């Protein structure tokens, strides 16, 4: 299946939704992808269930503080050079690329790479949403080696990292990213088709596109987008979605530290009742009201505009916005004991126990 230019905006909206407040606004990535399609390049999307077991797949993405991205325009070659560094280290050319993360801008980077290098893009990723660190991947949980990892910047510099430890891969790559100016592009977790089938969250590019289409058409058809999203997501591997709070943003504490956007946002209900407090490290980690847990990682917590259902990323939260908070479950591969060690509450330093979002 080829990606059509008219699908790109929907995909970006859905990616912002799955970004759980983080992941970086996919707007710039969407522009880059549309430019490639307008120039006549193709972007083929492959179903992970239909690829050869021997296919060499090298995922591509960007990392760093999303806020820096807007001031540090990519040259366009960075993710290509990152991928080629991994090819060189392996001594073999990639047959395809794929997202490491479907939430936020990283849904679009592999599409751009695919267009530029003529590589198909696998419809799957390693987070099923957005997470802030490189070891927080279903790939890692399933034992896929993270390196050789390539990392490149807009000045033409690049590096190749080798380590057996997924946390140290993150630690070293984060250090390089900071030295490269706060953002960098990378390729890691090179794997075979058989490993993609076993270790990825499948059909997430399609999922993002459908979420975007629902939000767009509900607006046009003047029907309730939130109800539509809940109905649709219940039919997917994510299983459940529901509105957990509605109100107005009345407090906002947001800092950039250690290369992340850290803080919390407070939402007050229109009527009487307790405030909702959402804590975030790039992505939203937990939502609580009066101390009671409404939702927590790895479940997806997304803040949406109450009027348009447009997803709001944490760098654009503003005092006084009227918002609706939606929580979404995650597929079984993301809820296992091993998965929770990698990106459950404790992995973010939270004391709370994971309580999966149940159906009503």
Q: Give residues in contact with a copy of itself (CB under 8 A).
A: 85, 88-89, 155-165, 168, 171-172, 174-176, 178-180
Nearer to a copy of itself by Cβ, of 155 and 338: the residue is 155
Rounded to the nearest 10°, the torsion over CA 138, 141, 142, 145 is: 90
Alpha helices in 224-353, H assignment, sequence order? 225-233, 337-343
Least distance (Å) between residue 169 CB and a copy of itself: 8
Alpha carbons within 13 A on the beta-carbon side of 64? 25
Nearer to a copy of itself by Cβ, of 167 and 198: the residue is 167
Q: Which of 155, 139, 120 is nearest to 202 (CA)?
A: 139
Least distance (Å) between residue 320 CB and a copy of itself: 40
Nearer to a copy of itself by Cβ, of 155 and 318: the residue is 155
Residue with tokens 């591509």: 60
Q: How would you classify the pairing of strands 300-305 and 322-328?
A: antiparallel
Nearer to a copy of itself by Cβ, of 84 and 281: the residue is 84
Nearer to a copy of itself by Cβ, of 105 and 151: the residue is 151
Least distance (Å) between residue 319 CB and a copy of itself: 36
Q: Which of 113, 190, 108 is nearest to 146 (CA)?
A: 190
Residue with tokens 């820096």: 68
Nearer to a copy of itself by Cβ, of 88 and 353: the residue is 88
Q: Which helix (H) or strand (E) holds 286?
A: strand 283-289
Q: DSSP assignment, residue 134?
A: T
Least distance (Å) between residue 188 CB and a copy of itself: 13
Q: What Cα–Cα distance (Å) separates residue 46 from each residue in 55, 98, 202, 245, 309?
A: 12, 10, 11, 37, 29
Least distance (Å) between residue 149 CB and a copy of itself: 9
Least distance (Å) between residue 173 CB and a copy of itself: 9
Nearer to a copy of itself by Cβ, of 147 and 321: the residue is 147
Least distance (Å) between residue 99 CB and a copy of itself: 24
Contacts of 171 (CB under 8 A, 6+ apart): none
Query: CA–CA separation, 132 vs 284, rounded Å?
Result: 10
């Amino acid at each position: 299946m080829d990606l059509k230019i008219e699908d790109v905006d929907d995909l970006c909206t859905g990616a912002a939704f799955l970004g759980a407040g983080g992941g970086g606004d996919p707007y710039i990535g969407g522009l880059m992808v549309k430019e490639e399609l307008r120039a006549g390049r193709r972007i083929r999307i492959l179903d992970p269930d239909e690829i050869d077991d021997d296919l060499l797949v090298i995922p591509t993405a960007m990392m760093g503080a999303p806020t820096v991205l807007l001031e540090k325009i990519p040259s366009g070659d960075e993710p290509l050079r990152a991928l080629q560094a991994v090819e060189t280290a392996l001594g073999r050319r990639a047959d395809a690329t794929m997202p490491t993360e479907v939430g936020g801008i990283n849904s679009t980077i592999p599409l751009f790479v695919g267009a530029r290098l003529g590589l198909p893009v696998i419809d799957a990723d390693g987070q099923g949403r957005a997470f802030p660190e490189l070891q927080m991947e279903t790939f890692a949980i399933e034992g896929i080696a993270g390196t050789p990892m390539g990392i490149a910047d807009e000045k033409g510099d690049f590096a190749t990292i080798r380590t057996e430890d997924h946390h140290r891969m993150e630690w070293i790559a984060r250090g390089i990213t900071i030295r490269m100016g706060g953002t960098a592009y990378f390729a890691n977790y090179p794997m075979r088709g058989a490993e993609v089938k076993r270790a990825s969250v499948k059909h997430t590019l399609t999922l993002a596109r459908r979420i975007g289409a629902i939000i767009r058409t509900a607006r046009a058809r003047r029907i309730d987008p939130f109800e539509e999203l809940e109905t649709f997501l219940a039919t997917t591997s994510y299983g459940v979605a529901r509105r957990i709070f509605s109100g107005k943003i009345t407090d906002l504490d947001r800092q950039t530290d250690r290369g992340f956007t850290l803080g919390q946002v407070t939402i007050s209900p229109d009527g009487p009742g307790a405030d909702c407090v959402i804590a975030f490290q790039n992505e939203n980690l937990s939502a609580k009201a009066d101390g009671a847990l409404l939702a927590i990682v790895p479940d997806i917590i997304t803040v949406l505009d109450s009027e348009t259902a447009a997803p709001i990323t944490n760098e654009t939260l503003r005092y006084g916005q009227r918002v609706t908070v939606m929580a979404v479950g995650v597929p079984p591969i993301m809820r296992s004991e091993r998965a929770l060690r990698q990106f459950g509450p404790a992995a973010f330093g939270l004391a709370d126990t994971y309580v999966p979002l149940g159906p009503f």
